Amino acid sequence: MKRNLFYVLVVVAVLFGCKKDQLLTYGSRDNIYLNYKDKDKNQDTSVLTYSFAYNPTLAQDTIWLPVIISGQRSKTERKFAINVVDTATTAKAGLHYEALKPSYIMPADSGTVKIPVIIKNSDPELANKSVMLTIQVSGGQDFNSSLPANLRTKSILYSARLEQPAWWIYWMGNLGPYSRVKHELFLISSGTTDLVDMSKPNAYLQIPRTLYYIDNVRTFINDPFAWVARYPEKGYVLTQRAGGSKDYDFYNSSSPDKKFYLKYYDQADRYFFVDENGQQVIIN
């Protein structure tokens, strides 16, 4: 009799334990956060940087935010929110980025989704400064927001500003002193975004190709009129300045506010681009 009573108590305890576990998980909403990983597959909370300088004709570009749930997938779609963190943002809606939507959708039977954030290159001041856009994903209608804020937040620092790349010093004998205008003209005409870093192993193998890129820049700098005529598909034009000036503005027809100054020098009887320091742009 005692043995039977013991078995009954064990069964009741098991059933009660199972029921208790079910009650603990019942009705719990899933969390949501940003799925950025570093090279070691750990959560990456660093600032994301971007420059329009490497694509000077782009009026805007899209940053895709990887969003992931912490929990179970659902057979129905669910809504969540992405908001701008005003206290950590210097970018202006409409000028530097497109306003975010009131809500976004996590598709049915999915645990991840990529959300587009559109940043703009319409402010000429981006050539001189960077702006910060900080966004944060939150639970919205169907998710919790109980995960740490740094897992749900990403800052995007962007501009149209260039900085001297590490490889420039190895080719200064050809390119001359660095300037941002010269760097931009290099990006337009060379056929590449960078040159070989001669500190790298076997870098010498890339020297012939590198000299080819530099020669493309030299050809362009020495005769931009011929270059424009030869490559009409690139969309660049030369427009003479007003008032009977011999000088020209060089720009892409899709970005008419971004102009390069091409000045005629009487003593040399030729044209030179002028950089941000007032110096002639010369490629040796």
What's the CA gap between 213 and 191, in Å, rounded?
A: 6
Answer for the pair 208, 215: CB distance below 8 angstroms, yes or no.
no
Residue 179: closest CA among 270, 268, 241, 261: 261
**Do residues 95 and 72 lie in contact, with contact meaning Cβ atoms separated by under 8 Å?**
no
Cβ–Cβ under 8 Å, residues 174 and 214? yes
> To the nearest whole percent, how much of the chain has pLDDT over 70?
90
Mean per-residue pLDDT over the chain, rounded: 88
Domain edges within the chain: 31-159, 166-274
- Supply 100's token pair: 């975010």
* C-alpha to C-alpha distances, 207 to 170, 195, 221, 284, nearest whole angstrom: 11, 9, 21, 16
**pLDDT tens digits for range 231-272:** 999 999 999 999 888 999 999 998 888 899 999 999 999 999
Distance CA 74, CA 28 (A): 13
Residue 186 has pLDDT above 80, yes or no: yes
Residue 12's contacts (CB-CB under 8 Å, 6 or more residues apart) are none
Half-sphere exposure of 28 (CA within 13 A, CB side): 12
**Which pLDDT score is estimated for 25?**
47
Question: What letter represents residue 263's amino acid?
Answer: K
DSSP-assigned letter for residue 185 = H
Mean pLDDT of all residues in 36-53: 86
- Pairing state of beta strands 48-51 and 236-240? unpaired
Q: Are 93 and 123 in contact (CB under 8 A)?
A: no
Helical ranges in the chain per DSSP H: 2-25, 172-175, 180-189, 207-222, 224-230
Q: What are phi and psi of 86, to 5 degrees?
A: -60, -35
The per-residue pLDDT for range 142-185, each reduced to its tens digit, is 999 999 999 999 999 999 888 888 899 999 999 999 999 999 99
pTM: 0.66
Q: Which tokens belong to 176?
A: 């001359």
Rounded distance between C-alpha atoms, residue 279 and residue 77, angstroms: 59
Q: Is the pLDDT of residue 24 over 90?
A: no
CATH class, domain 31-159, is: mainly beta
